[in-house]
Amino acid sequence: MLKDITLGQFFPGDTLAHKLDPRTKLLVTVFYVVALFTAKSYIAYGVLILTLIVAVRISRVGAKALFKGLKPVLFIIAFTALLNLFYTPGTELCHFWIFRITIEGVRAAITMMLRITLLIMGTFLLTYTTSPIRLTDGLESLLGPLKKIKVPVHELAMMMSIALRFIPTLIEETDKIMSAQKARGADFETGSLMQRAKALVPLLVPLFVSAFRRADELATAMECRCYHGDEGRTKLNVLHYQTRDYLVLGYYAVLVAAVIALR
């Protein structure tokens, strides 16, 4: 049952969106978010929506998957929209009881909803089209300059990729421990929230103990394979920017510049 959990879902594919350098995609996502939060005019929003639609079409990620990603944040979107709707001062449109709806409020609510929806869809598109390893590689490479000010970029990237590597292993182990506890009469499914939380203790303790043992063994195995930090380290798959990366980056740079200029 736990095996269904996916983190940073990735839909393998062979489209332009998949083939782009992960660094390009990361940068472009940042550009897009900046553009979203500086956009003021309707034209700007129109262009941003259009850009996302084109990107989604290119990536061949189903609209269904994108909207599914929105589900958990639906409440937040609705809540911010309502707050904006009722608490923005300005020209009154109508009012009932203690609520006053203004033209500015309607506008703010719509833009807020648009912003959050586009933001989430844009970032989901990134994780849908980029495998976790390439994403980590891209992050490590982009943040590379920070090494100069002693930020442990390589170590962080390594930790991230090891964490990703061990998610399935630990989930499998959790399943096993749960089965073992259930066989001895443990009950994880019924009772109050407190009781269920308490029932998790005998699950978490062995899981943590085993995770530490694994970490120790993995560290030894890594040392045996000559791991000694990123000093003099090379890569099997080196990232290279291609023409398509420059084109995409160029487009988004122009987009951000235009949106800011149009304010």
Partner 1 sequence: MEMIKTQDLAFTYPGTEDQVNTRALRGVDVTIERGSFVVILGHNGSGKSTLAKTFNAVLLPSGGKVYVEGMDTMDESLLLEIRRRVGMVFQNPDNQIVANVVEEDVAFAPENLGVPSAEIRKRVDDALEAVGMTQFVKHAPHLLSGGQKQRIAIAGVLAMKPECIVLDEATAMLDPIGRREVLAAVEKLNREQGITVVLITHHMNEAEHADRVIVMNDGLVVMDGKPREVFTRKKELEDIGLAVPDTVSLLFSLREAGMDVPVDAITVEECADAIAKNFT
Asked if 22 interacts with partner 1 (CB under 8 A), we say no
Nearer to partner 1, 149 or 236 (CB): 236
How far is 160 from 155, CA to CA, in rounded Å? 9
Separation CA 17–CA 248 (nearest Å): 10
Residues that bind partner 1 (rule: CB under 8 A) add up to a total of 28
Positive or negative torsion for Cα 262, 126, 67, 116: negative
Judged by CB under 8 A, the residue of 91, 190, 237, 243 near partner 1 is: 237
User: DSSP readout, 79-139?
Assistant: HHHHHHHHH--SSEEEEETTEEEEHHHHHHHHHHHHHHHHHHHHHHHHHHHS-HHHHHHHH
Kindly state whether residue 224 participates in binding partner 1, applying the rule CB under 8 A: yes
For partner 1, give the closer residue by CB, 161 or 181: 161
Instruction: Return the residues of window 142-161 that contact partner 1 according to CB under 8 A.
Output: 161
Q: Is 240 in the site for partner 1 (CB under 8 A)?
A: no
Query: At a CB cut-off of 8 Å and minimum separation 6, what does 43 contact?
Result: 262
- Residue 180 or 221: which CB sits closer to partner 1? 221
Please report whether residue 236 would count as binding partner 1 according to CB under 8 A. Answer: yes
**Which residue, 135 or 255, has its beta carbon nearer to partner 1?**
135
Rule CB under 8 A: choose which of 205, 220, 241, 262 binds partner 1. 220
Q: What share of the chain is helix, strand, coil (3-state, %, to 5)?
A: 75, 5, 20
3-class secondary-structure state, position 228: strand
Q: Rounded distance, CA 82 to CA 116, Å?
A: 14
CA distances (Å), origin 72, targets 32, 69, 83, 160, 236: 22, 7, 19, 24, 38
- Taking the C-alpha atoms of residue 127 and residue 124, their distance in angstroms, rounded to an integer, is 5
Given 74, 93, 222, 253, the residue binding partner 1 (CB under 8 A): 222
Q: Which of 43, 54, 159, 162 binds partner 1 (CB under 8 A)?
A: 162
Of 99 and 227, nearer to partner 1 (C-beta) is 227
**According to CB under 8 A, which one of 148, 150, 184, 235 is a site residue for partner 1?**
235
Binding of residue 6 to partner 1 (CB under 8 A): no
In the shown chain, the binding pattern of residues 196 to 215 toward partner 1, with x for contact by CB under 8 A and - for none, equals ------------------x-
Q: Is 138 in the site for partner 1 (CB under 8 A)?
A: no
| Burial class, 236, CB count within 10 angstroms (exposed 0-12 / middle 13-18 / buried 19+) | exposed
**Which one, 187 or 217, has the nearer CB to partner 1?**
217
Separation CA 18–CA 13 (nearest Å): 6
Site of interaction with partner 1 (CB under 8 A): 132-133, 161-162, 164-165, 168-169, 172, 214, 217-218, 220-228, 232-238
